[in-house]
Amino acid sequence: MKDALTYLLKQIVAKEDELSVSEEDLGNGNVALSVSVAAEDMGKVIGRGGKIIKSLRNLIRIIAVKQQKRVEIILNESTGQKG
C-alpha cells in the first residue's frame, strides 16, 4: 500500500525529493500511512474541495480491503515557512 501511494503521489507533486510516506502497523489489521509533502504541493495533493486526497484514500482503501486490512491516510501539515 505504501508503494502504491508513493507512486501516485509522485505523479502529483512537483518536489518529489520532499515527499515522504511512512507506514505504521497499528495491530488488528489496521495500518496508518502518514504523508508529508512540500508546502507548495499541499494544494495539489488536497485538490479542489478535497477531491484528490479523497480519491487517493479510496484507491488505497480498495488495495487494503483485498489484503483484509483497514488503512488510514494522514496528511501531515507542513511546519516550515514558505519563502
Sheet of strand 20-27, all strands in order from the earlier edge strand to the far edge: 20-27, 30-36, 70-75
Q: From first to last of its 83 residues, what are the pLDDT tens digits of the chain?
A: 999 999 999 999 999 999 999 999 999 999 999 999 999 999 999 999 999 999 999 999 999 999 999 999 999 976 554 54
C-alpha pair distances (Å), 14 with each of 25, 64, 81: 29, 27, 17
2-75 CATH, one of 3.40.50.2300, 2.30.110.10, 1.10.10.10, 3.30.300.20: 3.30.300.20
Domain spans in the chain, listed from the N-terminal domain onward? 2-75
pLDDT at 78: 62
